[in-house]
A and B are shown apart, each in its own frame.
Chain A
Amino acid sequence: MGTFHQNKHVLHGTTIVVDTNGPEVYVGRCDDIDDDEIILLDADVHRDGEDGKSKQQYIDRAAQVGVWKRFDRIAVRRSAATLIRPLGDY
Protein backbone atom coordinates (compact mmCIF):
# COMPACT_ATOMS: atom_id res chain seq x y z
CA MET A 1 0.00 0.00 0.00
CA GLY A 2 1.46 3.34 -0.93
CA THR A 3 0.89 6.79 0.38
CA PHE A 4 -2.59 8.25 0.24
CA HIS A 5 -1.37 11.61 -1.14
CA GLN A 6 0.27 11.08 -4.48
CA ASN A 7 0.26 14.78 -5.40
CA LYS A 8 2.74 15.73 -2.69
CA HIS A 9 6.52 15.75 -2.55
CA VAL A 10 8.26 12.39 -2.76
CA LEU A 11 9.26 12.71 0.91
CA HIS A 12 5.64 13.14 2.02
CA GLY A 13 5.04 10.95 5.05
CA THR A 14 8.72 10.42 5.75
CA THR A 15 10.37 11.61 8.96
CA ILE A 16 13.08 14.02 7.88
CA VAL A 17 15.85 16.18 9.28
CA VAL A 18 15.97 19.76 8.06
CA ASP A 19 19.19 21.53 9.01
CA THR A 20 19.43 25.26 8.51
CA ASN A 21 22.01 27.99 8.07
CA GLY A 22 21.02 29.22 11.54
CA PRO A 23 21.15 27.51 14.94
CA GLU A 24 17.97 25.49 14.35
CA VAL A 25 17.62 21.94 13.17
CA TYR A 26 14.16 20.47 12.67
CA VAL A 27 12.88 16.89 12.73
CA GLY A 28 9.36 16.00 11.72
CA ARG A 29 7.15 14.15 9.31
CA CYS A 30 7.33 15.79 5.90
CA ASP A 31 3.97 16.94 4.65
CA ASP A 32 5.18 18.74 1.57
CA ILE A 33 8.11 20.65 0.09
CA ASP A 34 7.88 23.38 -2.53
CA ASP A 35 10.08 26.21 -3.74
CA ASP A 36 9.24 28.36 -0.73
CA GLU A 37 8.89 26.15 2.30
CA ILE A 38 9.16 22.77 3.92
CA ILE A 39 6.09 21.75 5.88
CA LEU A 40 6.71 19.41 8.81
CA LEU A 41 4.05 17.74 10.95
CA ASP A 42 4.46 16.40 14.49
CA ALA A 43 7.79 18.17 14.60
CA ASP A 44 10.51 19.17 17.02
CA VAL A 45 13.14 21.89 16.78
CA HIS A 46 16.53 21.94 18.45
CA ARG A 47 18.83 24.92 18.72
CA ASP A 48 22.54 24.29 18.67
CA GLY A 49 23.75 23.96 22.26
CA GLU A 50 20.28 23.64 23.75
CA ASP A 51 20.26 21.18 26.67
CA GLY A 52 24.01 20.90 26.20
CA LYS A 53 23.60 19.14 22.87
CA SER A 54 25.04 20.15 19.53
CA LYS A 55 22.92 19.77 16.43
CA GLN A 56 24.71 16.53 15.59
CA GLN A 57 24.22 15.10 19.08
CA TYR A 58 20.52 15.91 18.84
CA ILE A 59 20.25 14.25 15.44
CA ASP A 60 22.14 11.18 16.64
CA ARG A 61 19.69 10.75 19.51
CA ALA A 62 16.70 11.37 17.26
CA ALA A 63 17.98 8.71 14.86
CA GLN A 64 17.94 6.17 17.67
CA VAL A 65 14.50 6.75 19.17
CA GLY A 66 12.70 9.53 17.27
CA VAL A 67 11.60 12.88 18.65
CA TRP A 68 8.92 14.15 20.99
CA LYS A 69 6.43 16.27 19.11
CA ARG A 70 6.44 19.91 20.19
CA PHE A 71 4.59 21.34 17.19
CA ASP A 72 1.70 20.00 15.17
CA ARG A 73 2.97 21.88 12.12
CA ILE A 74 6.08 23.90 11.29
CA ALA A 75 6.92 25.71 8.05
CA VAL A 76 10.66 26.07 7.42
CA ARG A 77 11.82 28.53 4.78
CA ARG A 78 13.37 26.58 1.93
CA SER A 79 16.04 29.26 1.54
CA ALA A 80 17.20 28.61 5.11
CA ALA A 81 17.55 24.87 4.64
CA THR A 82 21.05 23.52 4.09
CA LEU A 83 20.15 19.83 4.31
CA ILE A 84 16.99 17.76 3.92
CA ARG A 85 17.48 14.09 4.71
CA PRO A 86 15.36 11.18 5.98
CA LEU A 87 16.00 10.53 9.67
CA GLY A 88 16.19 6.84 8.89
CA ASP A 89 19.32 7.47 6.80
CA TYR A 90 21.38 8.42 9.85
Chain B
Amino acid sequence: MPYSPLLVRPMKEELTAVGFEELLTPEDVDTFMAQKSGTALLVINSVCGCAAGSARPGVRLALQNEIKPERLATVFAGQELKATARARGYFSELPPSSPSMALFKNGELVYFIPRHRIEGRSPQEVAADLTAAFERELASAAS
Protein backbone atom coordinates (compact mmCIF):
# COMPACT_ATOMS: atom_id res chain seq x y z
CA MET B 1 0.00 0.00 0.00
CA PRO B 2 1.45 3.40 -0.91
CA TYR B 3 2.35 5.91 1.77
CA SER B 4 0.10 8.82 2.55
CA PRO B 5 0.64 11.65 0.07
CA LEU B 6 0.75 14.03 3.03
CA LEU B 7 3.66 12.09 4.54
CA VAL B 8 5.78 12.07 1.42
CA ARG B 9 5.02 15.54 0.09
CA PRO B 10 7.79 17.37 1.97
CA MET B 11 10.24 14.64 0.99
CA LYS B 12 9.31 15.09 -2.65
CA GLU B 13 9.52 18.84 -2.39
CA GLU B 14 13.10 18.67 -1.17
CA LEU B 15 13.97 17.57 -4.69
CA THR B 16 11.33 19.24 -6.85
CA ALA B 17 12.24 22.58 -5.27
CA VAL B 18 15.70 22.35 -6.85
CA GLY B 19 14.51 21.38 -10.30
CA PHE B 20 13.75 17.67 -10.21
CA GLU B 21 10.93 16.56 -12.47
CA GLU B 22 8.58 14.25 -10.60
CA LEU B 23 7.83 11.09 -12.58
CA LEU B 24 4.47 9.75 -11.47
CA THR B 25 3.70 7.10 -14.07
CA PRO B 26 5.60 4.54 -16.15
CA GLU B 27 4.88 6.72 -19.17
CA ASP B 28 6.53 9.68 -17.43
CA VAL B 29 9.60 7.51 -16.83
CA ASP B 30 9.74 6.32 -20.43
CA THR B 31 9.40 9.86 -21.72
CA PHE B 32 12.23 11.05 -19.50
CA MET B 33 14.49 8.14 -20.41
CA ALA B 34 13.71 8.38 -24.12
CA GLN B 35 15.98 11.38 -24.45
CA LYS B 36 19.33 9.69 -24.81
CA SER B 37 21.55 12.66 -25.55
CA GLY B 38 23.12 14.64 -22.73
CA THR B 39 23.32 13.86 -19.03
CA ALA B 40 20.67 13.01 -16.47
CA LEU B 41 20.33 12.13 -12.81
CA LEU B 42 17.46 9.93 -11.64
CA VAL B 43 16.91 9.78 -7.89
CA ILE B 44 14.79 7.03 -6.37
CA ASN B 45 13.48 8.84 -3.32
CA SER B 46 12.07 7.08 -0.24
CA VAL B 47 10.79 7.67 3.25
CA CYS B 48 13.66 5.71 4.78
CA GLY B 49 14.95 7.86 7.59
CA CYS B 50 18.15 5.84 7.83
CA ALA B 51 19.33 6.85 4.37
CA ALA B 52 17.00 9.21 2.56
CA GLY B 53 17.46 11.82 5.27
CA SER B 54 21.02 12.21 4.00
CA ALA B 55 20.32 11.42 0.36
CA ARG B 56 18.09 14.38 -0.40
CA PRO B 57 20.25 17.12 1.15
CA GLY B 58 23.29 15.38 -0.30
CA VAL B 59 21.85 15.64 -3.79
CA ARG B 60 20.97 19.28 -3.25
CA LEU B 61 24.52 20.03 -2.14
CA ALA B 62 26.03 18.19 -5.09
CA LEU B 63 23.95 20.18 -7.55
CA GLN B 64 25.79 23.32 -6.45
CA ASN B 65 28.79 21.93 -8.35
CA GLU B 66 29.66 23.61 -11.64
CA ILE B 67 29.57 20.33 -13.54
CA LYS B 68 26.24 18.63 -12.98
CA PRO B 69 23.60 16.71 -14.92
CA GLU B 70 21.52 18.61 -17.44
CA ARG B 71 18.27 16.87 -16.57
CA LEU B 72 16.95 15.82 -13.17
CA ALA B 73 14.11 13.48 -12.33
CA THR B 74 12.81 11.53 -9.37
CA VAL B 75 10.42 8.72 -8.57
CA PHE B 76 9.22 7.89 -5.07
CA ALA B 77 9.59 4.27 -3.97
CA GLY B 78 6.67 3.08 -1.89
CA GLN B 79 4.45 5.77 -3.37
CA GLU B 80 4.55 5.68 -7.17
CA LEU B 81 4.97 1.92 -7.33
CA LYS B 82 4.60 1.42 -11.08
CA ALA B 83 6.77 4.38 -11.97
CA THR B 84 9.47 3.15 -9.61
CA ALA B 85 9.37 -0.33 -11.10
CA ARG B 86 9.67 1.11 -14.59
CA ALA B 87 12.59 3.31 -13.54
CA ARG B 88 14.40 0.33 -12.03
CA GLY B 89 13.92 -1.44 -15.34
CA TYR B 90 16.43 0.94 -16.87
CA PHE B 91 19.15 -0.54 -14.63
CA SER B 92 17.68 -3.97 -14.08
CA GLU B 93 21.09 -5.58 -13.75
CA LEU B 94 21.34 -3.94 -10.32
CA PRO B 95 19.40 -5.06 -7.24
CA PRO B 96 16.49 -2.77 -6.31
CA SER B 97 17.60 -0.13 -3.82
CA SER B 98 15.97 2.92 -2.32
CA PRO B 99 16.97 5.55 -1.88
CA SER B 100 19.43 5.37 -4.73
CA MET B 101 20.79 7.56 -7.50
CA ALA B 102 21.51 6.74 -11.12
CA LEU B 103 23.64 8.95 -13.33
CA PHE B 104 23.24 8.65 -17.10
CA LYS B 105 25.35 9.96 -19.95
CA ASN B 106 23.91 9.70 -23.46
CA GLY B 107 21.42 7.17 -22.18
CA GLU B 108 24.03 4.92 -20.58
CA LEU B 109 24.20 4.31 -16.84
CA VAL B 110 27.64 5.56 -15.78
CA TYR B 111 27.34 5.72 -11.99
CA PHE B 112 25.02 4.37 -9.33
CA ILE B 113 24.81 4.97 -5.61
CA PRO B 114 22.83 2.24 -3.82
CA ARG B 115 21.21 2.69 -0.44
CA HIS B 116 24.02 1.06 1.52
CA ARG B 117 26.43 3.73 0.24
CA ILE B 118 24.16 6.38 1.79
CA GLU B 119 23.28 4.78 5.13
CA GLY B 120 25.09 6.28 8.08
CA ARG B 121 26.74 8.96 6.00
CA SER B 122 26.31 12.72 6.19
CA PRO B 123 24.80 14.79 3.39
CA GLN B 124 28.27 16.23 2.82
CA GLU B 125 29.72 12.76 2.32
CA VAL B 126 26.94 11.80 -0.09
CA ALA B 127 27.45 15.07 -1.96
CA ALA B 128 31.19 14.43 -2.19
CA ASP B 129 30.59 11.05 -3.85
CA LEU B 130 28.09 12.54 -6.29
CA THR B 131 30.25 15.55 -7.10
CA ALA B 132 33.23 13.30 -7.79
CA ALA B 133 31.05 11.28 -10.17
CA PHE B 134 29.88 14.46 -11.92
CA GLU B 135 33.47 15.60 -12.40
CA ARG B 136 34.67 12.18 -13.54
CA GLU B 137 31.78 11.09 -15.72
CA LEU B 138 30.26 14.30 -17.04
CA ALA B 139 33.25 16.56 -17.60
CA SER B 140 33.59 15.67 -21.29
CA ALA B 141 29.87 16.19 -21.83
CA ALA B 142 30.11 19.67 -20.32
CA SER B 143 32.98 20.80 -22.57
Contact = CB atoms under 8 A, between A and B. Distances in A.
A52 interface: no
A2 B49 CA distance: 5
Nearest to A11: B120
A73 B111 CA distance: 30
Given A1-B49, A1-B53, A13-B48, A65 B94 contact: yes
A2 B94 contact: no
A65 B114 contact: yes
- Classify chain B's interface size: 10 to 19
Interface in B7-60: 48-53
- Classify chain A's interface size: 10 to 19
Given A1-B53, A13-B48, A66-B94, A86 B114 contact: no
Judged by DSSP, the binding face of B is: loop
Contact of B115 (A1, A2, A12, A66): A66
Given A15-B116, A65-B95, A66-B116, A3 B49 contact: yes
Given A65-B94, A65-B95, A86-B119, A13 B49 contact: yes
Nearest to A2: B49
| Among B50, B94, B95, residue most surrounded by chain A Cβ atoms (within 10 Å) | B50
B120 A86 contact: yes
B97 interface: yes
Closest 9 CB pairs of A and B: A13-B50, A15-B116, A1-B53, A66-B95, A87-B116, A66-B114, A1-B49, A88-B116, A68-B95
8 contacts: A12-B50, A13-B48, A13-B50, A13-B119, A14-B50, A15-B116, A69-B96, A88-B120
